[in-house]
Structure 1
Amino acid sequence: MKYLVTGAAGFIGNAVVERLTAAGHCVIGIDNMNDYYDVSLKEARLKRIESESFTFIKMDLEDREAIASLFEEKKFDKVIHLAAQAGVRYSIQNSHAYADSNLVGHLNILEGCRQTQVKHLVYASSSSVYGLNEKVPFSTADSVDHPVSLYAATKKANELMSHSYSHLYDIPTTGLRFFTVYGAWGRPDMAPFIFTNKIINGETIDINNNGDMWRDFTHVNDIVEGIMRIADVIPNRNDTWDVESGTPATSSAPYAVFNIGHGSPINLMEFVETIESELGIVAKKNFRGMQPGDVYRTFADTQDLFDATGYKPQVSIKEGVAELVKWYKEFYSV
């Protein structure tokens, strides 16, 4: 198969490329290499996946002509679209970056898939779409109409845009709502990396909502396994589906949405304590209130994903944190 992976220099995209090429697929990866976080980390990720089966192209998602030409020239079988302007808090201060990358960029990918009859588009949504929802576990049957950040709103918009293209043009699309992904080569703007970095360097870590928060931490290896499996589960049109009796996660169109998480949230303080134990260092902590855009708890109902792929996450928090800490020490020569 010939795959396009967007966000190939990103945390999840890089790991997906590694798995696809190892499985014998031909992969074209794109990334704009922006400086939202350390570009040298992105460059190091790309270096680790160099192979004859992988071609990297620096490209902006919002460059309509470049994206259209890429699709026309390469004729991809499947697309795994992971590139986006990430970060809940960053979206509060830099809203236009999200419109450009997450809305215009997603539309350009949809258009490329339409024009070249791609067999399956798998794209990144987010657990943040659940917003003010307090019912747990979060189910794809739940309402996601009350986001609490622009980032979340753009991810919900991506799902709606994808459904319209699936309905109008019979393009099979699958959205994956990621739940707090962590692991080696992770993003420096996310709590697992921030905590590890600051604890090692003797800096104070901020603990939001005074530690009373729960997150469905999911190791990147489990995420990638889920992506690999769902890429082969292509949604079909279902003419018996209707709005009244169907779930929002499916449709009469060839469209699907899944949660992809561990399915067992832990308290934030337990996660911090696991890092402390692995490092042998007690963190300096600054307890503070809930921050704008934050939610109290995330908790994925992943039964639909298991039914579709037969896969459930395997990596425990202890194993995942140990791997993250080992990588951090090696990469940063600590």
Structure 2
Amino acid sequence: MLRNREIRFVLLVMCTISLLLLLSAAFFSISSVILVLLTSVLLIGCSLIFTRMRYLEIEKLSSYMRQISSGDYSLDVRDNREGEFSILKNTIYKVTVMLSEQRTLLQKDKTHLTDAISDISHQLKTPLTSMMVMADLLDDTHLPETKRAEFTRNIRIQLERLEWLVTSLLKLSKIDAGTVHFKNDHVIVVKLIQKALQPVLIPIDIKEQTVTITGDDNVAFVGDLNWAAEAVINILKNAVEHTDSGGSIAIAFSENPLYTEIVIRDTGKGIPRDEIPFIFKRFYKGKYAGESSIGIGLSMAHSIITKQNGTIDVQSEIHKGTQFRIRIYKQIV
């Protein structure tokens, strides 16, 4: 404590004042000298004791901070008494709680990143292994032309699948990182539906499915047309894939003072009740998923819609079809 220059200076000043008072008291009487001496000793002693107590508190706080820096956030130094030390303790406790929460979030992010890398590796491994096998077979000079054409076509299909996977993962990573700036344009829903239907018209035609669209041409919402179309495309792809040939897909949209709603209903296989809570989870594949399914489309649709002040939910019944309900809520000014 006495190594502190400030304390030594204060002690020197107090001793100097006491000495001057003693000299002044000597002009009056011995009793005055004794009174001044006792008073000075008591005041200096109380000051030293008080300073020592504060040093002990600071030492406790220093020990607490060292434990925090080592990763121990379990200590509680809250103090409800008045005083600057109580304020400091409560502030340190708040910072400790914040650091603990941030550490938990970082740990979750690390776990999520590890799981994502594992899932991505698994998704890439399957088509790459398939292409390597077929590439080896193509080296055979005695391979029939029909088989050569078949293997070449399969390799092309796997490459297209890889391209779609990588593109989708890049889009998802941008959304997760918050680097996507969604526009706040006036989106006409009927134009959105027409844009989203374009990529799935060929598979719809091949499976001879019927599509019905109902809704007012003036229905609209504030959002990003291109990203919203990306979400709807993935939902329509899911509907086309799980609806048998000759089935139907119904798209309806409406608007009220609170939100704009888009409902996509199909007559497909349906989703088991126990799978519904997981269908928007990344890389999740249900028991009725096709061989080419990766389990990323609905996850992307969910991320895009929620980022645009919207919600998406699903209702389904086995062998009776599935219904996706999208709601884009209006912004409150």
TM score, norm. by length of structure 1: 0.19
Greater relative contact order (Cα 8 A, min sep 6): structure 1 or 2?
A: 1
Higher normalized helix content (fraction of residues): 2
